[in-house]
Amino acid sequence: MQENPLKIPILTILKASSDALSEYELIRHLEADFKAFEMTGNNNNLALFRKHFMVMNALYQLQESLLKEGLYLAISALSIKLESTKENNSSLPTEGSDAKLRAYYLDWSQLNETTTSDVDALLNNFWKHYCAHDKHTQALDILGVTNSDDWTVIQQTYRKLAAKFHPDRGGDKAQFIAVREAYEILRLNQTLYNQK
């Protein structure tokens, strides 16, 4: 495994911090204290991906070595913190999404082989899913239902609201359109979920 030059600066930052740091905060510390960390390139998204990858790779390398010393490095984008293994009896993940993330970030070929178009595709996919989730949540709110409601409950609720707001029955046209759009979003998500 290739040694990551950011391990020592990151460990120094983490030891000096009494609170958990977000990845963003950790990157800002590195940029201020470790000028070589400022990565540039023709594409800002690719440069940002490389910076992110280098930090995560260093964190996962540290996690493994620190465990042997009785420390557990908890890693998430919003909370990176050194903890005692005695406090939480921690071990490295061997399966599930945490293990997959760990394997991904410890594989240097991911850094070397990821192209600008790969990063653009990752970002586009993220925003597509983010917006879809946001619209799904809004649709649930408009109909006054929850994710845990059965599909038949959602359909019945939609029918009642559509009848209430239908312009031909003296209802509010804007409300009717909002209810209809919300129903279509939930119907599409239901169809996609059933295809999985």
What pLDDT does residue 11 have? 94
What pLDDT does residue 76 have? 87
Say what the pTM is: 0.64
Provide the terminal-to-terminal Cα distance of the chain, rounded to the nearest Å: 37
What pLDDT does residue 37 have? 67
CA atoms within 13 A on the CB side of 117: 0
Give the residue extent of every domain in the chain: 7-114, 119-195
CA atoms within 13 A on the CB side of 98: 10
What are the CB-based long-range contacts (under 8 Å, 24+) for 88-94? 91/67, 92/63, 92/64, 92/67
Per-residue pLDDT of the chain (196 residues; tens, 9 = 90+): 789 989 999 999 999 998 999 999 999 999 887 766 666 567 788 888 999 999 999 999 999 899 888 888 999 888 999 887 765 556 777 788 888 999 999 999 999 899 999 998 988 887 777 657 778 888 999 999 998 898 999 999 999 999 999 988 898 989 999 999 899 888 877 765 554 4
Mapping DSSP onto H, E and C, the string for 69-101 reads CCEEEEECCCCEEEEEHHHHCCCCCCCHHHHHH
CATH number of this structure's domain 119-195, picked from the four choices 3.30.420.40, 1.10.287.110, 1.10.1060.10, 3.40.50.10800: 1.10.287.110
**Cα–Cα distance, 137 to 147 (Å, whole number):** 9
If phi over 0 gives left and psi between -120 and 50 gives alpha, with beta otherwise, what is residue 142? Answer: alpha
